[in-house]
Amino acid sequence: MTRTVLITGCSSGFGKAAATKFHDHGWNVVATMRDTHDWDGGSSDHLLTHALDVTDPASIRSAFDAGVDRFGSLDAVVNVAGIGLFSVFETTTDETVRSVFETNLFGPIEIMRVAIPHLREHGGGRIVNLTSASSVVPEPLMGIYNASKAALDNLTETLRLELSPLNIVLKLIEPGFVPTTRLVEKAQANAPMLTIVPPEYEAYVNQRMGFFSSEFPVELATPQDVADAILASVNDETGQLRWVVGADQAERMHMRHETSEAEYNAWTWRQFGLDSGSIAWDAQRRSGEVLAPAALD
Q: Which residues pair with 144 in a beta bridge?
A: none
pLDDT, residue 211, reads 79
CB 170 within 8 A of CB 162: no
- How many angstroms separate the CA atoms of 83 and 101, rounded? 9
What pLDDT, on the 0 to 100 scale, is given for residue 184? Answer: 47
List the beta strands (DSSP E) in the chain.
4-7, 28-33, 47-51, 76-79, 125-130, 168-175, 242-245
Dihedral sign computed on CA atoms, order 277, 280, 286, 291: negative
pLDDT at 180: 65
User: Whole-angstrom Cα distance, residue 294 to residue 150?
Assistant: 15
The residues annotated with a catalytic role in the active site are 145
Q: What is the pLDDT of residue 208?
A: 87
pTM of the model: 0.87
Residue 109 DSSP label? H
> Is residue 28 a contact partner of residue 19, using CB atoms and an 8 Å limit?
no
Any idea what DSSP says for residue 237? -
Q: How many residues in total does the chain contain?
A: 297
Euclidean distance between the first and the last CA atom of the chain, given in angstroms as a whole number = 40
Instruction: Name all domains of the chain by residue range, CATH numbers in brackets.
Output: 4-258 (3.40.50.720)
Per DSSP bridges, beta strands 47-51 and 168-175 are unpaired
DSSP count for the chain of H helices, then E strands = 11, 7
DSSP 3-state of 11: coil
pLDDT value of position 188? 45
Helices (H), 37-106: 57-71, 94-101
- What is the Cα–Cα distance from 129 to 79, expressed in whole angstroms? 5
| One pLDDT digit (tens) per residue for the chain, 297 residues | 899 999 999 999 999 999 999 999 999 999 999 999 999 989 999 999 999 999 999 999 999 999 999 999 999 999 999 999 999 999 999 999 999 999 999 999 999 999 999 999 999 999 999 999 889 999 999 999 999 999 999 999 999 999 999 999 999 999 988 876 555 444 444 444 456 789 999 999 989 888 777 777 677 889 999 999 999 999 999 999 999 998 888 899 999 999 999 999 999 999 999 874 443 444 343 333 333 333 322
DSSP 8-state symbol, 291: P
